Structure 1
Amino acid sequence: MARELPQDIIENNILTSLPVKSLIRFTSVSKHWRSVILYNPKFAKSQFESSSKTHRILVSSNGSPELKSLDFESPWFGQASSFRKLHFPFEQQPAHCNFLGSSNGLLFVALDDKRFYIWNPSTQFFKQLPGIGYPSNRSAVSMYYGAGYLSATDNYKVMIAYMLDSQEEEEEKSVEAVHVLSLKSPIWRMGNADSLGTDIFPCLQGTLSNEVLHWLYEYNYSRYDLVAFDLASEEFRIMQLPDFDDDGRSLYRCQLGVVGGGLCVASYTDVAITCDSVDFWVMREYDVRESWTKVFNLDFSNLPVQPLLERSPCGWFAMESGTVALKWTGKGIWFMRIDHKEQDKLGLYMIEGSRFAIVEYEESLIWIEEKENVKRTGRNSSRRSRKKLKS
Structure 2
Amino acid sequence: MVLSDFRFAFHKIAFRSRTHHELYASLFFPENSVGRCVDVEGSIHHDYAVQIPETYEHYSLRLMGSCRGFILLINFVNGTHFVVWNPTTGFHTTVSYPSALLRGDMYRPHQLWAGFGYDKSSDDYLVVTGWRDPCKTSEVKSRWEFFSVRNNSWKEIETGGFRSNYLITCNSGVFYNGAIHWLAVRSNGEGGRVILAFDLEGKNLSIFSLPRGLHRNGTPMLKLFGGYLGISYMSWQTWRNELWVLKEYKVESTWTKLDNDIPFDDTFNPMCLTKSNECIGMSNINMLAKFGKKGKLLESKVIKCDGHIIMIMFEKTLLTLPRNKREDDH
How high is the TM-score relative to the length of structure 2? 0.80
Q: Does residue 122 of structure 1 match 2:88?
A: yes
Q: Does residue 319 of structure 1 match 2:253?
A: no
Shift of 1:250: 7.2
- Say if 1:103 and 1:299 are closer, same or farther in 2 by CA, change over 3 A: closer
Question: What CA distance in whole angstroms lies between the structure 2 residues aligned with 1:355 and 1:139?
Answer: 26
Shift of 1:156: 1.1
1:181 to 147, 165, 169: 147
- Say if 1:73 and 1:99 are closer, same or farther in 2 by CA, change over 3 A: same
1:243-322 → structure 2 map (5 Å cutoff)? 243-244=212-213, 252-271=218-237, 276-300=239-263, 309=265, 312-319=266-273, 321-322=277-278
Q: Which runs of 5+ in 2 are unaligned?
A: none
Shift of 1:218: 4.8
Question: What CA distance in whole angstroms lies between the structure 2 residues aligned with 1:244 and 1:106?
Answer: 34
Q: Which residue number corresponds to residue 97 of structure 1?
A: 61
Deviations 1:117-153 (A, max 9, x none): 2211101122222442311454322432111112222
Higher mean Cα deviation, 43-52 or 100-109? 43-52
1:1-391 → structure 2 map (5 Å cutoff)? 36=3, 40-46=6-12, 48-49=14-15, 50=17, 53-74=21-42, 76-77=43-44, 79=45, 82-90=46-54, 93-95=55-57, 96-111=60-75, 112-133=78-99, 134-141=102-109, 142-163=111-132, 176-193=142-159, 195=161, 196-218=163-185, 223-244=192-213, 252-271=218-237, 276-300=239-263, 309=265, 312-319=266-273, 321-329=277-285, 333-340=286-293, 343-369=296-322
Check conservation: 2:289, 2:297, Cα contact below 8 A: no
> Amino acid of the residue matched to residue 89 of structure 1?
P
Question: What CA distance in whole angstroms lies between the structure 2 residues aligned with 1:290 and 1:345?
Answer: 32
Q: Which runs of 5+ in 1 are unaligned?
A: 1-7, 9-34, 301-305, 375-391
> Amino acid of the residue matched to residue 365 of structure 1?
L
Check conservation: 2:260, 2:294, Cα contact below 8 A: no
- Say if 1:42 and 1:129 are closer, same or farther in 2 by CA, change over 3 A: same
Secondary structure of 1:290's partner? helix
Deviations 1:39-64 (A, max 9, x none): 73344324532466321122332342
Shift of 1:165: 6.2
- Say if 1:65 and 1:153 are closer, same or farther in 2 by CA, change over 3 A: same
- Say if 1:349 and 1:41 are closer, same or farther in 2 by CA, change over 3 A: same
Question: What CA distance in whole angstroms lies between the structure 2 residues aligned with 1:355 and 1:162?
Answer: 25
Secondary structure of 2:49's partner? strand
Shift of 1:171: 11
Secondary structure of 1:89's partner? coil
Higher mean Cα deviation, 259-268 or 359-368? 259-268
Shift of 1:294: 1.9
Question: What CA distance in whole angstroms lies between the structure 2 residues aligned with 1:130 and 1:139?
Answer: 13
How high is the TM-score relative to the length of structure 1? 0.69
What's the % identity of the aligned pairs? Answer: 16
Shift of 1:283: 1.1
- Say if 1:190 and 1:369 are closer, same or farther in 2 by CA, change over 3 A: closer
Deviations 1:137-178 (A, max 9, x none): 543224321111122221111111124669xxx999x97432
Shift of 1:87: 0.6
Question: What CA distance in whole angstroms lies between the structure 1 residues aligned with 2:234 and 2:105?
Answer: 43
Question: What CA distance in whole angstroms lies between the structure 1 residues aligned with 2:131 and 2:33?
Answer: 25
Question: What CA distance in whole angstroms lies between the structure 2 residues aligned with 1:131 and 1:250?
Answer: 35
Check conservation: 1:48, 1:364, Cα contact below 8 A: no
- Aligned-CA RMSD value: 3.4
Question: What CA distance in whole angstroms lies between the structure 2 residues aligned with 1:325 and 1:221?
Answer: 31
Q: Which has the larger radius of gyration?
A: 1
Number of equivalenced pairs: 311
Check conservation: 2:197, 2:207, Cα contact below 8 A: yes
Check conservation: 2:262, 2:291, Cα contact below 8 A: no
Question: What CA distance in whole angstroms lies between the structure 2 residues aligned with 1:338 and 1:205?
Answer: 25
Deviations 1:24-53 (A, max 9, x none): xxxxxxxxxxx85x7733443245324663
Check conservation: 2:271, 2:312, Cα contact below 8 A: no
Secondary structure of 2:11's partner? helix
Deviations 1:216-265 (A, max 9, x none): 235559942222222222322220222216xxx77522222112221112
Question: What CA distance in whole angstroms lies between the structure 2 residues aligned with 1:335 and 1:326?
Answer: 5
